Amino acid sequence: MKSIGLYRATVILLGLMLSGQGHNPSPSAAAVEIAMGAVAETDQKIAKELVAAFDQAEVAVQHADVDALMQFYEKAYNYHGLKRPDVQRIWTEVFSHYGHVVSRHVFTELKVVQGGLVKKAYVTCTGGLYGTEKESGKPITIDSWVSEVHYLVKEKDGWKFLGNVGGVPHSVPPTSAPHHPLF
């Protein structure tokens, strides 16, 4: 079952790249798409809320507005040990080196969990972060991911990025970096 999801996500990503949308898509391109069958009928409302949150974050990305973008990160954000201040520093570096930054997300699966008053969402996603090098003007893929699980929590003011599923890995080579720390 997992290999089918990975296959579907890979095909979607390749389709985006081959169609010309996978590499430096235009700012008018939708930041988020939902693959057919990715969302159960009962989760349609939550899917719309999540797309709205990602779209709002995309506006902040396109305006290189780190402060506005950080509103979408939960205070307890943790991606393989990277915390909210680390991500803020990374976004600042991205915006200092790249212009015309945009992201694309294709949701291939959505799981919603309600624990007491807390609602969490696990969104399996394939996509990328694209921009233009400020020095050379060349388009570049800044980051890309396949079947990454965005972990979000619903707060009073909307959905917030919480990090990755599974916490910090126990053994990571010192030269390796997390694959996708920004969402």
Nearest by Cα to 50 from 156, 159, 155: 159
* pLDDT at residue number 79: 85
Residue 113 within a domain: yes
Task: Please check the confidence at residue 4 and state whether its pLDDT lies above 70.
Answer: no
* pLDDT at residue number 157: 87
* pLDDT at residue number 40: 80
Model pTM score: 0.76
Which two tokens mark 164? 């990755």
* pLDDT at residue number 178: 45
Nearest by Cα to 179 from 150, 152, 138, 139: 150
Residue 183 within a domain: no
Which pLDDT tens digit goes with each residue over 146-155?
888 889 999 9
Which pLDDT tens digit goes with each residue over 50-99?
999 999 999 999 999 999 999 999 999 988 888 999 999 999 999 999 99
Residue 92 within a domain: yes
**Domain encompassing residue 60:** 2-163
Residue 105 within a domain: yes
Residue 168 within a domain: no
Residue 150 within a domain: yes
165 pLDDT tier (thresholds 50, 70, 90): low
Task: Please check the confidence at residue 47 and state whether its pLDDT lies above 70.
Answer: yes
Residue 14 within a domain: yes
Residue 171 within a domain: no
**Cα distances (angstroms) measured from residue 155 to each of 17, 75, 81, 116, 162:** 34, 11, 22, 13, 11
* pLDDT at residue number 181: 56
**Domain count within the chain:** 1
**CATH number of the domain bearing residue 19:** 3.10.450.50
Instruction: Spell out the residues 6+ positions from residue 173 whose beta carbon is closer than 8 angstroms to its own.
Output: none
Task: Please check the confidence at residue 173 and state whether its pLDDT lies above 70.
Answer: no
Long-range contacts, stretch 6-12, CB < 8 angstroms, 24+ apart: 6/146, 6/147, 8/35, 8/108, 9/106, 9/108, 9/124, 9/126, 9/146, 9/147, 10/126, 10/146, 12/106, 12/108, 12/126
* pLDDT at residue number 177: 41
Helix (H, G, I), strand (E, B) or coil at 146: strand
